[in-house]
Structures are given as structure tokens and as C-alpha cells.
Amino acid sequence: MRKPVIAGNWKMNKLVGEASELVAGLWEEISGQDAVEAVVCPPFVDLPSVGRLISERGMTLGLGAQNMHWEESGAFTGEVSPGMLTDLGVTHVIIGHSERRQLFGETDQGVNRKVTSAFEHGLQPIMCCGETLKQRESGQTEDVVSGQVKCGLFELPAEWVSGLVIAYEPIWAIGTGVAASTADAQEVCGYIRGLVAAEYDTGVAESVRIQYGGSVTPENISELMAMDDIDGALVGGASLKADVFSRIVMFS
């Protein structure tokens, strides 16, 4: 039985005080729940205060970063290392979000190095993939997703992949208010599980958790979560308000 994992990607939002307010709000709404692995992914600068609040209040809430470098330390101006994240109590890390790929030139090879490094440091990677509208309309969705996933998994051992979270996020659904239909989301998430089975085996494929991301709301989460191959959600805009994100986490 795969435990659902619902992560809020705050992107470049929330000053330190606002971040604490949001987490305090989540504490009121979802502190006792254990049915879902709930995670918040604030900007780097909010991680220390949010991490402190989570531990002071004993919340069962994962603390995620939105990116990291694969190296442990060195001359990488502006970057943050996996050891710096674990030192702050970070548990999860989003890798290869489409905004990082499109705006900051992240490559599939870089994603693979980051995922590898995350596992080496005991961080739970959430590895993102997804196609553009143009690619979908020209029938390339499977090819694009397959390329991203296979390259992201390159040389990863089966025991790591069993514990991986893959987020399928069609780019045309991110921040647009137009989510993929549940059938389309299920189709691609099922396809990704099949890819993992082909690269590894069915045991690994049955363990890997696959999220859908792209305009998830309290209104569409239940229908998405009812799909066989959707094990959670990566949530952007709707994770910025405690009451809204809580309703997504408490979907069942």
C-alpha cells in the first residue's frame, strides 16, 4: 500500500514571517493527520524558521527544499548543498521542476546527478517530469516523459527507485487553473509506472510513488487521488493558504 504524498511548492513566495504564519495555520488544520505524507517546500531562506516551528510543535509535516546542488561543497556561487539542507532538518527536495528546466537550464543529466546526491544524503527526492502543450498536441507526451524519467533514473539502484517520488506535471497545467483531466493524468502516471517496471521490475514499480501536479485544488484532489496510479500531488498556488492546502491534504 503506497502512502499518499502531498507536497506544497511555495515557489518564490512568503517572507519569513509569512512562512511561519502559514505553517502555524497548517498546524491548526492538519497537525494530527497521518493518512497522508504532507510536505511543505518553502524558499531556502524560510527553511530554518519553518523547520524550527515544525519541530517545536511536533508536527508530522515534511520539510522540503525546491532545489539543491549535487555537490557537497565548493566553488558554486549561489548554490545550496544537500548537506546544508539536512543540517536544517530538511527531509524532501524537489528536483527538476519544469520552471528550473525552462528558466534555469536544468538538464536531465543534472536531474540525475541531483537525485543521486539526494539519496546519498538521505533526502527524499521528488523528481519532476512533464510535457509542454506543444509536445502534447503533437503526440510527443510519452516520448518526452520517457526521456526525462529514464535519464533521471540512470544507474540508480532499485532500492532507491522503490523509495522515489516522481511528480508528473504537464507544463500546460501548471499555474493555469486548467488541470489535466483525471483520465489524462492517470494515463501518463500509469505509463510512468510501466516505464519503471520495464527498467527495473514490477515490485519497484509498485513501490514508487507518482504524484500529479498542475492546478490541483480542494475541488479536484479527490477525483485525482481515486486513480490507480496517482499517489499524491505536487501543489503550487493552492499550497499558499493554510485552509486551502489543508483541504487538499485532508481530501479523503
By C-beta, is 118 or 248 nearer to ligand PEP?
248
249 scored as a contact of ligand PEP (CB under 6 A): no
Least distance to ligand PEP, CB of residue 75, Å:
30
Figure out which of the listed residues 236, 245, 246, 249 binds ligand PEP, where binding follows CB under 6 A: 236
By C-beta, is 152 or 213 nearer to ligand PEP?
213
Active site residue 169: yes
* Opening angle at CA 93, ends 7 and 190, nearest 5: 60
C-alpha cell at 34: 497521518
Q: Which of residues 2-21 bind ligand PEP (CB under 6 A)?
A: 9
Q: Which of residues 210-229 bind ligand PEP (CB under 6 A)?
A: 213-216
* DSSP characters over 190-236: HHHHHHHHHHS-HHHHHHSEEEEESS--TTTHHHHHTSTT--EEEES
Say how many Å lie between the first and final Cα of the chain, rounded: 16
By C-beta, is 197 or 240 nearer to ligand PEP?
240
106 scored as a contact of ligand PEP (CB under 6 A): no
Q: Which of residues 136-195 bind ligand PEP (CB under 6 A)?
A: 169, 174-175
By C-beta, is 101 or 193 nearer to ligand PEP?
101
What is the Cα–Cα distance from 19 to 26, expressed in whole angstroms?
11
Residue with cell 539502484: 157
Active-site pick, 37, 69, 92, 97: 97
Active site residue 71: no
What is the Cα–Cα distance from 64 to 91, expressed in whole angstroms?
6
Figure out which of the listed residues 234, 242, 248, 249 binds ligand PEP, where binding follows CB under 6 A: 234
Which residue of the chain is nearest ligand PEP when measured via CB? 236
Q: Which amino acid is at 235?
A: V
By C-beta, is 52 or 241 nearer to ligand PEP?
241
Under 8 Å between Cβ of 213 and 166: no
The answer to whether the Cα torsion of 218, 219, 225, 230 is positive or negative is negative
> Footprint of ligand PEP on this chain (CB under 6 A)?
9, 169, 174-175, 213-216, 234-238
Q: Which residues are catalytic?
A: 97, 169
